[in-house]
Amino acid sequence: MKYTPNPSSVVDEMLQAIGCSDLDDLFVDIREELKIKHRLNLSAGMGEMEIRNRLKYLADRNINTDDYPCFLGAGAYDHYIPAALEQLLLRSEFYTAYTPYQPEISQGILQSIFEYQTMICKLTGLDVSNASMYDGGSSLAEACNVACTNSKGKSKVVISDTVHPEYLDILKAYALSGHMEIVVVPGEDGHADIDAMVKAIDNETACAVIQQPNFYGILEDPTALEKAIHGNKGMFIMSVEPLSLALLKSPAEWGADIAVGEGQSLGISLSFGGPYLGFMAASKALIRKIPGRIVGQTTDLDGKRAFVLTLQAREQHIRREKAASNICSNQALCALASSMYLSFVGDQGLKDIAARCHHLALYARQEFEKAGMQLMYKQPFFNEFALRINNPGNANRILLENGIIGGYELEDALLLAFTEKRNRAEIDQLVAVLGGINNA
């Protein structure tokens, strides 16, 4: 298969027109010894039917959530995606476009981003949202970087280990910069040790970070932490699950300066971990400090409402070595998917979905308890909890034999997530299989 439209006769004409005798003449500026002499060790090109077979073969070697009910969460969730969204996302004016640098020819994309920013602000309660980051983990690291590079030399990040462990790994990698010192405070009993976090805050602390719900699905109460970090003139950063915000207190209500999170729940397929959607929202005071693209509303010469990339003086292509972030390509199409998702489900729909997830999780807990099993932790949760079980790896294997994708394996527990795609029958079967193992 090839996508070059000029046949060889046309190529010859074009070569002749520019005074070349063959295609090799176009590469005389590359020293001979640098040219590839061997045939690249790649397979020969494939026609479309062959390539379909190849990809179908690989895809069929994976067990997927269309065929198996999935109780895995841990930062990626098996939510329903409306059919209309999937079709609209294939409008090629959206997906084959570049970043909307030229506003006159990109109003549709710019408006969609403006709508996305507004929705993120509504969910988080904050004043400003950027046009997306790579994912939940990297957006958290970028938020901490904002705090550390805008707090007069303070560089300490006080963070609970009840945050997603991969987010902590990413934060530590970003800290190779030398701009951040990461202080991980161990949690207790499945939630953040707020007292210990408060004690860890000192004059060097730029920010304090909590995840809501935390990695174990538990709701954190950061009231005292927010007071302490603000009392110390540091920033309070929350990593939040956007769907849960239909029910749960918003980051603004908790007093957060920056909210970040993983937006995959909002209409983005699981796709083995990506592409997903990092979001970032912040208080008004930080509008010129946050990284990434921002779309603003303005007018054109005729006074008509128009949208444009704005505050670009913050960004790498203008500020170069003085830029605080290097982000360029983001996850614009995923951001578009999430704003389509929120439009299709609507305000009440989002509340209903969040409530259903929570109710299914409550039902599962009730049934597990009836079967004599216990949760690891007793605190309130949203749609995910850790179920105590011996040898969780073995439990997952048996679940798979029963046609179920089980949970995330913790030490002596399975972290189980419940989305609106699950139903009573599936949960009953989950409980029956795990109950059987537990009582064996």
Partner 1 sequence: MPKLIFEKHVTNSNPFSLPACDIPLPEISETIPAHFLRNETTALPEVSEVETVRHFTELSTRAYGVDSGFYPLGSCTMKYNPKINEWAARLPGFAGIHPCQSQDTVQGALQLYYEMQEMLAEINGMDAFSLQPAAGAHGEMTGIMMIKAYHQHRKDYKRTKIMVPDSAHGTNPATANVIGYEIIEIKSNERGLVDLEDLRAKMNDEVAGLMLTNPNTLGLFEEEIQDIAAIVHDGGGLLYYDGANLNGILGVARPGDMGFDVVHVNLHKTFGTPHGGGGPGSGPVGVKSKLIDFLPKPVVVKNEDVYSFNNDLPLSIGKVKNFYGNFGVIVKAYTYIKSLGAEGIKEACQHAVLNANYLRHQLRDDFNIPIDRLCKHEFVINSKKQSAYGVTTLDIAKRLIDYGYHPPTIYFPLIISEAMMIEPTETESKERLHEFVDVMKTIARESAQETDKLLNAPQNAVIKRVDEVTAARKPIVKWEAP
Q: Is 224 in the site for partner 1 (CB under 8 A)?
A: no
Residues 345-404 that bind partner 1 (CB under 8 A): 345-353, 355-356, 358-360, 362-363, 366, 380, 382, 396-397, 400
Of residues 196 and 270, the one with the C-beta less far from partner 1:
270
Of residues 35 and 152, the one with the C-beta less far from partner 1:
35
**Ramachandran assignment for 79, one of left (phi > 0), alpha (psi -120 to 50 degrees), beta (any other):** beta
State the Cα–Cα distance between residues 253 and 112, nearest whole angstrom. Answer: 26
Token output for 338: 């999430």
Q: Is 53 in the site for partner 1 (CB under 8 A)?
A: no
Token output for 330: 């983001």
Q: What angle do CA 56, 60, 61 make, to 5 degrees?
A: 125
Of residues 233 and 351, the one with the C-beta less far from partner 1:
351
Scanning the structure block, which residue is given the tokens 């300490």? Answer: 156
Q: Binder to partner 1 among 256, 342, 389, 437 (CB under 8 A)?
A: 342
The interface region with partner 1, picked from 79-87, 188-196, 232-240, 383-391 by CB under 8 A, is 79-87
The interface region with partner 1, picked from 52-60, 153-161, 189-197, 203-211 by CB under 8 A, is 52-60
The interface region with partner 1, picked from 12-20, 152-160, 188-196, 369-377 by CB under 8 A, is 12-20
Of residues 232 and 344, the one with the C-beta less far from partner 1:
344
Of residues 232 and 410, the one with the C-beta less far from partner 1:
410
Q: Binder to partner 1 among 21, 152, 153, 322 (CB under 8 A)?
A: 322
Q: Is 127 in the site for partner 1 (CB under 8 A)?
A: yes
The interface region with partner 1, picked from 33-41, 185-193, 225-233, 369-377 by CB under 8 A, is 33-41
State the Cα–Cα distance between residues 163 and 197, nearest whole angstrom. Answer: 13
CA 112 to chain centre: 19
Contact 365, 385 (CB under 8 A): yes
Q: Is 153 in the site for partner 1 (CB under 8 A)?
A: no
State the Cα–Cα distance between residues 281 and 239, nearest whole angstrom. Answer: 10
Q: Identify which of 174, 143, 429, 413 has the alpha carbon closest to the alpha carbon of residue 289.
A: 143
Size of the site for partner 1 (CB under 8 A): 203
Residues 181-210 that bind partner 1 (CB under 8 A): none
Residue 8 to residues 81, 134, 215: CA-CA distances in angstroms? 45, 41, 58
Q: Binder to partner 1 among 148, 170, 228, 387 (CB under 8 A)?
A: 170
Q: Which residues make Cβ contacts (< 8 Å) with residue 39, sequence separation at least 6? A: none
Token output for 37: 């002499």
Of residues 146 and 237, the one with the C-beta less far from partner 1:
146
CB of 145 to partner 1, least distance (A): 8
Q: Binding string to partner 1 for residues 240 to 259, with x set by CB under 8 A, is what?
A: -----xxxxxx-xx------
State the Cα–Cα distance between residues 119 and 305, nearest whole angstrom. Answer: 19
State the Cα–Cα distance between residues 436 and 400, nearest whole angstrom. Answer: 14
Q: Is 57 in the site for partner 1 (CB under 8 A)?
A: yes
Residues 276-305 that bind partner 1 (CB under 8 A): 276, 287, 293-302, 304-305
Of residues 233 and 288, the one with the C-beta less far from partner 1:
288
Of residues 233 and 397, the one with the C-beta less far from partner 1:
397
Q: Identify which of 383, 354, 365, 371 has the alpha carbon closest to the alpha carbon of residue 440.
A: 371
Of residues 122 and 388, the one with the C-beta less far from partner 1:
122
Helix, strand, or coil (residue 217): coil
Of residues 275 and 435, the one with the C-beta less far from partner 1:
275
Of residues 78 and 226, the one with the C-beta less far from partner 1:
78
- The angle, 0 to 180 degrees and rounded to 10, between the axes of the packed helices 424-439 and 392-401 is 130
Q: Is 272 in the site for partner 1 (CB under 8 A)?
A: yes
- The angle, 0 to 180 degrees and rounded to 10, between the axes of the packed helices 107-124 and 332-370 is 30
Amino acid at position 336, single letter: L
Q: Binder to partner 1 among 227, 319, 370, 378 (CB under 8 A)?
A: 319
State the Cα–Cα distance between residues 338 and 278, nearest whole angstrom. Answer: 11
The interface region with partner 1, picked from 226-234, 262-270, 370-378, 384-392 by CB under 8 A, is 262-270
Token output for 284: 């008004």
Contact 82, 345 (CB under 8 A): yes
CB of 198 to partner 1, least distance (A): 18
Q: Is 70 in the site for partner 1 (CB under 8 A)?
A: yes
State the Cα–Cα distance between residues 376 and 374, nearest whole angstrom. Answer: 6
Q: Is 411 in the site for partner 1 (CB under 8 A)?
A: no
Helix, strand, or coil (residue 410): strand
